[in-house]
Amino acid sequence: MLSDYIGVAPKGDLLLLQKICKKLEGRTFLHVNSTREGGGVAEILHRMIPMLNELGVKTRWEVLEGDEKFYEITKKLHNALQGNAEEITGEMWQYHFEVNRRNLKRLDLEADAVLIHDPQPVPLIDFRKNGKWIWRCHIDVANPDKEVCDYLKKYCEKYDAAVFSVAKFAKAMPIDEFIIPPSIDPLSEKNRELTKEEIDETIERLRIPVDRPIVLQVSRFDRFKDPIGVIEAYRIVKRYNDCILILAGSPATDDPEGEAVLAEVREHAASDPDIHVLLLPPFSDKDINALQRIADVILQKSLKEGFGLTVSEAMWKGKPIIGGATGGIPLQIVHGVTGFLVHSVEGAAFRIRQILTNPAMAKRMGVEGKEYIRNNFLITRQIRDYLSVWYSLENKGKSMLEL
Ligand code: UDP
């Protein structure tokens, strides 16, 4: 219920959201992505779809189905868009399109507004029926592989609009472009307040020692999240400050590289009993919430990052955060105020030590961070922004007074 957010989300967000929902009441809104579990996109959709329906906008979520070959290709696309050198052959592009075409039998694409998330389902635009079609890019495309980006652009330009998380990701295209950062739901299982008993239950079940400070990173096992860099930073810190490191992650069904990266991480952690590599099952929201609440410092040391929901999640729990200065992370961390932005393993280690040895500063950063998230990155703001894009596309050319 929207009223549950009174006193949690900014009042202005709630009022505007209510107004825009009245305009779109009873209309249909479809979201399509490629996984129901794992990663930030699924995380947001799980919360946003029921909320939109409660607000009177008839919203559905369809998931594109692929096979192993398809996910290997789309992971390469993802990596290329984030700047890796990858070769995508003509045959691969054809297969990408073909899997989308095959999905038509299963997918109902009929809606007043269709939001297609990320490159996996981007070719669906060739089968549009009606409504406004918007492509939503969650990836860090600041420095993409040009060839791959140009190919994808051919699909994107057929959409009515594109939405990026960060201004510097936007590309020169002949369609409308909007900047909408993602958000967290403060009332979800992942972010709600937990009781001491609930936190203790997680600590006991996952056998987390709480006798020393805890350094935490929560992420899919993906090289762009730099889990190895996190271990190296921890090792530097460990020479001076006794602490434990938790790397918690679960697999995403559309990420075929997860297992290999997990194996690398385990090997790198070797036999250090103070490094806890936790492979969590999907939907371990309460456990992640509890881990974030017991941590003394939280890292998101990504090398590339579309947005990094884990940063907002950590800040919402009043924790000082150290993030890689990349993608959407600088949007969330006010350097020196709510946490620190870092560019290297050494930088991360330096900032971990600074936080561990300055509890008063850590506390102050946590308080500032929570307010920053409240004002900028809650789900109420994001839903309002999506609906505003849809509304503005339908009312293009009209003056404010006519709306
Ligand atoms: N997450 C999770 N379990 C895990 C690892 C991550 O539920 O084991 C969640 C995390 O809390 C966050 C989302 O997945 O909500 C990751 O989103 P983010 O934007 O940080 O990264 P992405 O995975 O989309 O690249």
Residue 159 DSSP symbol:
S
Q: Could you give the CA distance from residue 234 to residue 230 in angstroms, rounded to a whole number?
A: 6
Q: What is the pLDDT, as a whole number, of residue 376?
A: 97
Mean per-residue pLDDT pooled into runs of 10, the chain (403 residues): 93 94 97 90 94 96 96 95 94 98 97 98 96 96 95 97 94 93 96 98 97 97 96 98 96 79 94 95 94 98 95 98 97 98 98 98 98 98 96 85 63
Q: How far is CA 393 from the centre of its chain?
A: 25
Instruction: List the residue whose alpha carbon is closest to atom 13 of ligand 1.
Output: 40
Q: Are strands 113-117 and 58-63 parallel, antiparallel or unpaired?
A: unpaired
Model pLDDT, residue 257: 86
CATH superfamily for domain 196-376: Glycogen Phosphorylase B; (3.40.50.2000)
Rounded distance between C-alpha atoms, residue 177 and residue 179, angstroms: 7
Q: Amino acid identity of 377?
A: F
pLDDT at 400: 63
User: The tokens of 4 are what?
Assistant: 């549950």
200-257 pLDDT per residue, tens: 999 999 999 999 999 999 999 999 999 999 999 999 999 999 999 999 998 667 778 8
Rounded distance from Cα 42 to ligand 1 centre (Å): 9
- Strand arrangement of the beta sheet that strand 214-218 belongs to: 275-279, 244-249, 214-218, 297-300, 321-324, 339-342
- Please tell me if the CB atom of residue 249 comes closer than 6 angstroms to any atom of ligand 1: yes
Cα gap 60→53, rounded to integer Å: 9
Strand partners, 137: 164
- In the chain, where are the structural domains located? 2-183+378-394, 196-376
* Cα(266)–Cα(275) distance, integer angstroms: 9
Distance, CA of 375 to CA of 380 (rounded, Å): 10
Q: Is 220 in the pocket of ligand 1 (CB under 6 A)?
A: yes
The ligand 1 atom nearest the CA atom of 280 = 8
Please give the pLDDT value at position 251: 67
The CATH architecture to which 2-183+378-394 belongs is 3-Layer(aba) Sandwich (3.40)
Beta bridge pairs of residue 117: 136
Q: Nearest-CA neighbor of 290 among 248, 234, 346, 322?
A: 248
Helix (H) or strand (E) segment spanning residue 166: none
Beta carbons within 8 Å of 269's beta carbon, 6+ residues apart: 231, 247, 275, 277
Ligand 1, pocket-test mutation among 34, 78, 166, 218, most atoms within 8 A of CB:
218
Mutate to test the pocket of ligand 1, among 307, 309, 315 (most ligand atoms within 8 A of CB): 309
Same fold, 2-183+378-394 and 196-376: yes
Whole-number Å distance, alpha carbon 39 to ligand 1 midpoint, is: 4
Ligand 1 close to Cβ of residue 280 (< 6 A):
yes
Buried b (16+ CB within 10 A) or exposed e, 130-140: ebbbbbbbbbb
Q: Is the CB of 218 under 6 A from ligand 1?
A: yes
